[in-house]
Chain A
Amino acid sequence: MSASESTEHPAMVLEPWQLQPEPLRAALSELEPSGDQEPKRWPLIQAVDVAGHHDALMGLDHAVRVEVAGPLGDHACAYNRQAEVRIRGPVGSAVAEGMRSGAVRVYGGAGHGAGVAIRGGTLAVYGHAGDRCGAGLAGGEIFVRGNVGTAAGVGALGGTIVIGGNAGPGLGAAMSGATIFVRGTVASLAPDVVEAPLRERERLRLGLLLINAAIRGDAKDFRRIIPRAMFQQETNRPRGEIDPSWR
């Protein structure tokens, strides 16, 4: 927790029974609307004594910052929008499942299916993640500082997965449209994905993403894994290194 947040008085403190969608909505409805303020000025909410709870903080659709002392169980922050959630401790499976926007930052490890079916927003895991991380990803970004298990990015249609450590076997299985950046070793690539050159525009983009996720490292240390069909498209239709529409 940053120094500024540690001294900030929370606008609300959530009890364990308020972590479920219905009481959570009711509690947050009492907050003053935050309007167009910057995320760092959004109301701060703390959740206390919630360690080990499953299905916590699901369906959040408020411009708020939430600080949680974990660990949390399965499905934490599933189907969220807008909210910026920091979880201090590990989480179970399917963290941030189906998230549309906002961010979930996990200061610990994540179980299987982290970020499954995310459509937008950012999931950052500052530990290791289990198998099938980013399965069915259709937008947004997932960052894992450590290693990921088998079949990361399986069935991903879009979005970006950044892996700071090693990847297990079957990386990118059944993936189309998404991009994976990996820094460590890859046990094996799935048949229809390839390692593609990291071009200047991807290097720049990855550098920005790393800064945004507060992950140390140089973009040039990463390799780019994309679907074979996407690579062939790139090869057949070369575009200039400077392309204003790259992002």
Chain B
Amino acid sequence: MSVSPLLDEIGLLPPPLATPWEDGAESAEEEAVPERWAAAPPLFWYDPPWHFVPAPTARQIASTVDAVGIPTAALGCELGEEDIGDVMLRHSIAAVRPDRYGLAIGDLNAAAVVDLRLARSRDAHGRFAYGRSQLQRWLAEPTGEDETLDLPDSVPAPGWPPELTSLGELAGKFRQYRAFQRRVRCAVSITPYRIFDELAAVLEAKPDIVILRMDDSDEFSGIRLASVIAAALDVIRTHHRATRLWVVPPCEPTPDDCVKMLALGVEAVAVDWWCQPLINAAIQQGGTLTDAPAQLREHVLDILSERMERMVGLIHSCGASGPAELRPSHLYSPSTTIARRLGISSQT
């Protein structure tokens, strides 16, 4: 595992010298990692490429990651299920793209989070578009019947719901989703561009979560990434303090990056790169997983536990008992300019 850190210009501030000897080094073996998190881990799987593997395999993977407590984006059609609540009992994210290809009422009824995706996806050619295999999965019937539509190689991906004429109408969509399910958390995915205008307008609709999607924004790394997160949080505090910020980083985060983002004020970080090996393993096995459910869960834990264990350790080393207790004051930068900009501690 040799991943370049995203936020190596800021560090985690250790406790002061006079801190007494604490019982903070419990063995990693004592408890399974998911049970170490009081609530669900502050991680999520934002955009799993379910169409890369057959629906039954996707279903196996999704339900196992769900059992670990990581919210995972999936539609029933992507898993070959009419009612996604039968597969993912606790943590599914219903991705509501403006086109709504594949979205069914079962997704809206069962999801923990409904995410209105105003940030578009690119296809392999760099276009804002969906490929044929993706469309086939979205339009396949849960019964497994063959799709009868003559689908093109590619369809442009929209970035705006056709029924809306302005951001001012977003609140109506959230009202609709809450009518299906009172306790659902309503999210909006946006890009990190124009956040002072667009994020402020989005917040007028009082979303529960804003997902800052930066997996298409390679230029945001290091201090730029921290700065855009800090700026987004400033806008949120100004316009609707109750909204939580989730972040899809520009590339694979290390556990240290995740903890630093949590300390900046982020509620959850996307770890698609950590989960992708599950899809890759299935592809290498010809699309099917030979593991029994228990073995698959072990495999998922193998992939995630080392990183999640390090996150637990880092959070405790800051003197916090959980991610909710992390604060920007747990971070530091040797540069007073950067420290001031991010509202974190300075070494001096």
Contacts and interface: CB of A to CB of B under 8 A. Distances in A.
**A, B from the same assembly:** yes
Interface of A: 20-22, 54-55, 58-59, 61, 74-75, 78-79, 93-94, 97-98, 100, 111-113, 116-117, 131-132, 135-136, 138-139, 151, 154-155, 157-158, 174, 176-177, 227, 229-230
Contacts of B108: 79
B171 to A, nearest CB: 11
Task: Give the 7 A-B CB pairs with smallest separation, nearest first.
Answer: A113-B163, A135-B162, A132-B162, A117-B100, A79-B105, A94-B163, A93-B163
B162 A58 contact: no
Contacts of B32: none
A59 B163 contact: no
B340 interface: no
Contacts of B163: 74, 93-94, 97, 111-113, 116, 132, 135
B154 to A, nearest CB: 9
Contacts of B152: 176-177, 227, 229
A120 to B, nearest CB: 11
Contacts of A58: 176, 179-180
A227 B105 CA distance: 29
A148 B116 CA distance: 26
A22 B172 CA distance: 18
B155 A54 contact: no
A98 B103 contact: yes
Task: Please classify the interface of chain A as helix (H, G, I), strand (E, B), loop, or mixed, using the class held by over half of its residues.
Answer: loop
B158 interface: yes
A231 B278 CA distance: 42
26 contacts: A21-B179, A54-B172, A54-B176, A55-B175, A58-B176, A59-B180, A74-B176, A79-B108, A93-B163, A97-B100, A98-B100, A98-B105, A113-B161, A117-B99, A117-B100, A135-B162, A135-B163, A139-B149, A154-B158, A157-B149, A157-B155, A158-B149, A174-B158, A176-B151, A177-B150, A229-B152
Contact of B139 (A74, A132, A138, A227): A138
Contacts of B334: none
B176 A75 contact: yes
Q: How large is the interface on B (under 10, 10 to 19, 20 to 34, 35 or more residues)?
A: 20 to 34
Among A79, A113, A116, A227, the one with the most B-chain Cβ atoms within 10 Å of its Cβ is: A79
B156 A174 contact: yes
Among A21, A117, A132, A151, the one with the most B-chain Cβ atoms within 10 Å of its Cβ is: A117
A195 to B, nearest CB: 20
B165 interface: yes
A79 B105 CA distance: 6
Contact of B105 (A59, A93, A116): A59
A136 B164 contact: no
A142 to B, nearest CB: 13
A79 B96 CA distance: 13
B205 interface: no
B104 interface: yes
A138 B103 CA distance: 12
A128 to B, nearest CB: 15
Contact of B162 (A113, A157, A227, A229): A113
Contacts of B228: none
Given A59-B105, A113-B161, A176-B151, 8 more contacts: A55-B176, A75-B176, A94-B163, A113-B164, A136-B98, A151-B162, A155-B158, A177-B151
Contacts of A94: 163
